[in-house]
Amino acid sequence: MLDWLQANSTVIQLVFTAAMVAVWVLYLQIFLTSIRRQKRPNIVISCGAGSGMDARILVSNLGFEPIFIVDVIMTVWTSEQEHRTVVTDRSELSPEQLARPTEATNQGPLKTGEYTDMGSFREFVERVRQSDHVDLDGKVEGMDIKVIGTTAAQSRLIAAEREFALTGEGRDERLRPTRVVTTQVRSGRGRRRLRRELHERLQPPSS
């Protein structure tokens, strides 16, 4: 046995070295994957501080880096139609209600671990009406909120969206999310769709 080990010591050493390199490469891969996951933005959209259409839309940054909210897009479904528009600016507030100009918009930075109150669902629906001068016929049945942002570390768009269903009427009116967690838009295809959508909204309306 000793003679065989001595005769094949070079081969054994090469195999041992290769195994050690493989282990270190595996550890490095796990470490880099962990770092990438930690740096992933994580935006949470929730509702609270009220019930029904008067519930507040709360957006939290649970990522490890600050984000800048670029735009907020809302889709409203009624019993008769669907309408989608940008609702970033707080058009329901008059200049007299603003303590400072930055309160007129939901754009702005959001530090890690912080949240912002974007307004009530009722106010968001009113923004949709005022923004595109549309009449939302029929009873509101559901809404989709999409928050688009960017980070300092990544020169690309990030986004999250969550859908809410409205049930009941009057005092029995309830608003609930249709999914347990907020959907994060992280794929390349999803980001390209976001960029295309924002670019289209920058174009002047056709006459």
Q: What is the pLDDT of residues 46-84, one digit of tens each?
A: 988 877 888 899 999 988 889 999 889 988 888 777 788
Q: Name which of 46-55, 56-65, 86-95, 186-195 the model is least confident about.
A: 86-95
> Is pLDDT at 20 greater than 60 in this prediction?
yes
What integer pLDDT is reported at residue 129 of this predicted model?
A: 78
Measured CA to CA in angstroms, residue 95 lies from 39, 62, 77 at distances of 38, 32, 30
Residue 162's pLDDT band, with cuts at 50, 70 and 90, is very high
Per residue in 123-160, pLDDT (tens digit) is 888 888 777 666 666 677 888 999 999 887 767 788 99
The average pLDDT across 115-119 equals 89
Cα four-point dihedral sign 145, 165, 58, 64 = negative
Q: What pTM, to 2 d.p., does this model score?
A: 0.74
The whole-number pLDDT of residue 140 equals: 79
Q: What mean pLDDT is reported for the chain? A: 79
Rounded to the nearest angstrom, the gap between the alpha carbon of residue 192 and the centroid of all alpha carbons in its chain is 15
